[in-house]
Structure 1
């Protein structure tokens, strides 16, 4: 025969709710996030390991090849060199956030496809971010402007990347 166990009359008074953890509020690709971990954590590891946004790549501890670029506002910055605490209240866009909400590609993404500017693909997210930042800063860039981008491509796609940036600048992405 089962016996009923008596419930305590009142909850224990020693339970104290934990204070809300302080943290860093940041917008990433239009979504709000509250980082309560190490404030010195590089943005790159927050993106890749916490949010699972793996488009931004590791390109060395100093971000020397541009594979880890993201937009902070309209400026391309190295995600491995930016600590989370410096991003409080700021807006970050990763390569995953370039496409429109309906899934349509950013004109530069389409231009990369049109010009076959994707070799192995490792550097592509950084090129896209750097290219978007350049086009926002200078809508009609010349070769010299494009040559100043910090990105490296070991597959040799630089000439196709140049054509893609110029195609997007001319408003011809998606056109034959």
Structure 2
């Protein structure tokens, strides 16, 4: 199947829920991608193809809590590399490194185990969606504190009108689907 057809399969699996979670918001639901093996496989194929073309040497995939955990391990398996968790504060055992960041409604904190990433390792960060970019930018900050080499940030869906990519500079970013 061509990359365009794979992208069409993934796009066709995204559901829209108008006025959720509040009026004026159109929620883009990726759960049908997970339900349909062909769509999930197409998404992983597209990520794999992009990474193999642009980044010949990757050490780890880092997935953001919680939907990055759905796509990251499958992608890491395909690439024959490891997967590490970036979780909400208080969810990981052992020594951790954390970073706090602002949300539109307050503050949040994410963390990684201190031995998850070694200095200089080449890391790709993955999540399902980029909105305002706060969580992904915090993940970049966290990995930078471990002296990781952040290659690219990946998502299924980018909400372009929220300009989340501006918070990610100077890190490269790639999304499969873009919506206003």
- Length-normalised TM-score, structure 1: 0.27
Question: Given the two structures, how large is their TM-score scaled by the length of structure 2?
Answer: 0.26
Q: Which has the higher contact order (CA 8 A, sep 6+)?
A: 1
Larger radius of gyration: 1
Q: Which has the higher strand share?
A: 2
Higher helix residue share: 2
